[in-house]
Structure 1
Amino acid sequence: MASRLQINNSRRLNAARTKTADENNLSQQLRSKQNAGGMPLRTAKSSNSLSVNSKRPAFGDLSNQGRRPQPSSNNTAKPTSNKRASSFSEVSNVPQTKLRIVQPSSKLHVYNEDDQMTEDEDGVDDGPPDIDLTDEEDEVNSAADDKKIVTPPESIGDIDEESDVMEQDELDEDDWVMKHVELPQLVEQVERVQSNFKEELDMWDTTMVAEYAPEIFSYMCQQEVETMANPHYMDFQSEIEWSMRSTLIDWLLQVHLRYHMLPETLWIAINIIDRFLSVRVVSLVKLQLVGVTAMFIAAKYEEILAPSVDEFVYMTENGYTREEILKGERIILQTLNFSISAYSSPYTWVRRISKADDYDIQTRTLSKFIMEVALLDHRFIRARPSLIAAVGMYVSRMMLGGDWNDDFVYYSGFAEEQLQKPTEYILEILREPRFDSQFCYKKYSNKKFLKASIFARDWALKSS
């Protein structure tokens, strides 16, 4: 028995020695070929050289969906590709009026002391002075003196006395919310309906927390007032206009869909942009930086796997550097006093209003399109998210032949008469001649969204 074990061990040892000798001979042969000028050995560096050196088309070509950008060593802008995909299913319909990537010819050399972050005291570098978001007209007071508007506060989170805000609203001739929505008789009508309505609570569905819903939405109604932007902030902006805001949002819609982000991420980003522009003067070459930085901040709040800062640099075709976006993030958050999570998108109220029609899929899909249409119009900046959600559901019900009964009044908090004026604005936008060239229309013309944009536009044109 012992001799048999010794024989087996001897065989294993000889086999191992033979294998080692063969490997050594193979290695020597390969090295000799390499020294003689033959094919070099494929190291880890050479095997990955293809993936490192490969380049992607520019962001203008949305047909390369799903790929990740590779980090680039230089900061030169990538040429815009003229290639277009063939179908909307490839997320390729880029609107004709897309945001032009503005390459600053010269950096801004003005650096305001107010823009220095508090981290400077701790030795944290804020970045070079020439990447400041604002220009030399940072003081809003000087721009607002001659235009009879209320000077925006230095921080959105610190709102002045409520009486001052009410005085501004009463003197505002363009405030359609105060004229057509917040009328005392209509508010009383809604309160009567809500007091007499008996809600059927679904106690078996614990995810709806029906017993806490009234308190939750009451608190959210208070928060949405505190996160409102100044509807007149374009009056003291020196270089940008409302049309540029629409172009920026149209581009952000492409970015949002391209990276498959949550709907709330888009709404938070637009709210950050409007609130920041309400208190800071931004030059034209920095407008896209504000937009991409706002999307970067919003993605951190909502997304599970948020795009990295390098991917946001790639979105702008290297129009802005990594350091510019990171410093812009610090400036925006400090300006808004880090008040981001207080904002609730209209999707929160849509989920509650949808309980009135048992969560009809057609109504909800069409309402999402209507709400994004309102997102493009600056007149809806003065509308609260709950009002935008109610408008979206009301227009959807009207297009689908439904009514606005007491159930919708109870869950939305708005009567039918309060939604007439914003409905006129929505239909006005849908009837515009070039509306079908915008990305919002092309996005919802996909079968995934039940071709809601095609149906809504046809309905608006026929009803005109």
Structure 2
Amino acid sequence: MQTNFDISQEDQYDEDALLFEHASEKLITNSDSVDDIDISQHVIDKNELDSEDEELEYQKPDEDELDTQEQSLRSPFNTHIPMQPTWTPSIIAEMRRVVHKYSRDTLDEDDEDTYDPAMVAEYAPEIFNYLHELENKLAPDANYMDNQDELKWEMRSVLIDWVVQVHSRFNLLSETLFLTVNYIDRFLSKRKVSLSRFQLVGAVALFIAAKYEEINCPTVQEVAYMADNAYTIDEFLKAERFMIDVLEFDMGWPGPMSFLRRTSKADDYDYETRTLAKYFLEITIMDSKFVASPPSWLAASAHYLSRKLLNRGEWTELHVFYSGYTERQLRPVAEILLESCRHAETNHKAIFEKYSERRYRRSSIFVQEYFDSL
């Protein structure tokens, strides 16, 4: 049988890859579990910032690149113009100054995290330096859809909307959702997928991410049921092995939740601010512009926008220190996220409904009321 699922440039496919070819053509439309679906480097090394002996070589931003950033702000939601944080000489100089001002060689006796073993305060700087390295290393290709024959960015949005619904039904952690999306994008960056197999990729990615993040994760039988039993248990397990192999066993992508918690330290971990920020952060997974954007940048942008809407004051030096980004770098993302909320039920229906619930402090409703008050 001729395959529609191009998993490599070679003529011969391995055994695990063939499972996608033999998978059912039926798409995931289980009305009992989910809604019907119709699918037709920016890291600055902190040591470099701390070093006053070494001079940074500044490069003037390319004018075409700046024009592209401005165009992305004027474009409709989900227009694919990949976005990355801007680094200019003035921004780098400000970061160097803030890091030099707030860095400590000893633990702060007035900081509660110092006495919490779970926070491992003595290793926090090294941990987050490493996470910044990983977020670039494990980033997907920002333009991978150019290499797909049957898929388009709009189809990705539909798939992610379904993933959000299934994730919510299983009541999984936020980390699991972001990790699932990363697995999907990284897999599609390396393998061509036919339209009929597209949802299998999403289901398997969710299954793997849940096993990585959750204490009590869904069983393969439960995931197969949510996929309307379109694929056998054996097919799911083979697909799991194949996806892990394609991702080269690099499963520990640092999602934005860790960076969001780090940034919220500047607000004494204010719950209301962070909950609203989580809503804005989840919106980013729907927009292809942010496919390869650093999760630390997206987390800081969501936190920045949350503070603005809640009137929490200015973006202080402590926020710059803990997030790693200045206000100038965060404003472009914040403007895009806020604009997308004007038509929330169109741009991210599942996320809007999820965050309208009481347990999320009805964050999406709060944003709509903000627009009504303007």
- Give the TM-score of the pair, scaled to structure 1: 0.63
Select the residue among 300, 314, 317 that pairs with 2:211.
300
Distance of 1:248 and 1:128 partners within structure 2: 20
Q: 1:330 to 1:113 in 2, by over 3 A?
A: farther
Aligned 8 A contact 2:140 2:292 in 1: yes
Which of the pair has the greater relative contact order for Cα pairs under 8 Å at 6+ separation?
Answer: 2
Superposition misfits of 4+ residues, deviation over 3 angstroms: 106-115, 125-130, 169-176, 198-202, 433-437, 460-463
Aligned 8 A contact 2:82 2:288 in 1: no
Distance of 1:114 and 1:398 partners within structure 2: 55
Q: Is 1:177 matched up with 2:75?
A: no
Aligned 8 A contact 1:246 1:377 in 2: yes
Distance of 1:326 and 1:127 partners within structure 2: 13
Distance of 1:430 and 1:298 partners within structure 2: 28
Aligned to 1:196: 101
Aligned to 1:222: 133
Q: Is 1:435 matched up with 2:333?
A: no
Aligned 8 A contact 1:275 1:336 in 2: yes
Aligned to 2:22: 131
Q: After the TM superposition, which residues 60-459 of structure 1 pair with which residues of structure 2 at under 5 Å, given as runs?
A: 108=3, 115-116=13-14, 130-131=21-22, 173=68, 174-177=81-84, 181-197=86-102, 200=108, 201-202=111-112, 203-341=114-252, 343-402=253-312, 403-432=314-343, 434-435=345-346, 438-459=349-370
Query: What percentage of residue pairs aligned between the two structures are identical?
Result: 39
Q: 1:305 to 1:129 in 2, by over 3 A?
A: closer
Unmatched runs of 5 consecutive residues or more in structure 2: 25-58, 69-80
Q: 1:274 to 1:191 in 2, by over 3 A?
A: same
- Displacement after TM superposition at 1:458 (Å): 2.9
Distance of 2:129 and 2:281 partners within structure 1: 22
Distance of 1:339 and 1:303 partners within structure 2: 17
Q: 1:409 to 1:114 in 2, by over 3 A?
A: farther
Aligned 8 A contact 2:256 2:298 in 1: yes
Aligned 8 A contact 1:313 1:319 in 2: yes
Distance of 1:238 and 1:397 partners within structure 2: 42
- How many residues matched? 314
What amino acid sits opposite 1:131 in the alignment?
A: H
Unmatched runs of 5 consecutive residues or more in structure 1: 1-105, 118-124, 134-165
- Give the TM-score of the pair, scaled to structure 2: 0.77
Q: 1:314 to 1:175 in 2, by over 3 A?
A: closer
Calculate the aligned-residue CA RMSD, in Å. 2.6
Aligned 8 A contact 1:269 1:294 in 2: yes
What amino acid sits opposite 1:381 in the alignment?
A: V
> Which structure has the greater CA radius of gyration?
1
